[in-house]
Amino acid sequence: MKFGLLVTTGPYQHQASDTALQYCRAALEKGHEIMRVFFYNDGVNNGTRYTTPPQDDRNIVNAWSELAKEHNIDLVICVAAAQRRGIVDEGEAQRNGKDGDNIAEGFRISGLGQLVEAGIECDRVLTFGG
């Protein structure tokens, strides 16, 4: 089956992001396809590489980056939600006159159309968070 995921909460404060990661791994292991993970609301906070948890804790951002690299998964951060919360890539930083970017490896910033597209193309869209 072809899945799309919507993650609406940030890392650490809620377990939703961990659960979404575990769901992705389990689905892939069973031979399913993850077409896209879309990060919205505070979920965009999963995509900043400045995240630095204590060494004895899991690094959720790195875990997403590794998952994307291993399985070629499209991790998309909503541009409007990201701008409100200070998540920028190089292009957005330049456009908005910021002195640097903070997007993590394997993530890209794009529009909400990517979420609707996932809804159209996937067999199921699952929400994690909220």
Partner 1 sequence: MAEPWEEDEGPVKKFMFVNRKAPYGTIYALESLEVVLISAAFDQDVSLVFTDDGVLQLKKGQTTDGIGMKNFSPTYRALEGYDIEKLYVDKESLDARGLTEDDLLVDVQVMGKAELADLMDEQDVVMSF
Residues of the shown chain interacting with partner 1 in the complex, contacts defined by CB under 8 A: 6, 8, 40-41, 80-81, 84, 111-113, 115-117, 119-120, 125, 127, 130
Paired with 42 in beta bridges are none
Quote the least distance from Cβ 98 to partner 1, whole Å. Answer: 21
89: which residues sit within 8 A by CB, 6+ positions away? 101, 103, 108, 109
Catalytic residue among 61, 78, 103, 118: 78
Determine which helix (DSSP H) or strand (DSSP E) holds 71, and give its type and residue range: helix 60-71
Least Cβ distance, residue 118 to partner 1 (angstroms): 9
Residue closer to partner 1 by CB (options 106, 129) is: 129
CA nearest to 68, candidates 105, 113, 16, 116: 105
- The yes-or-no answer on residue 24 being catalytic is no
* Active site positions, annotated: 78
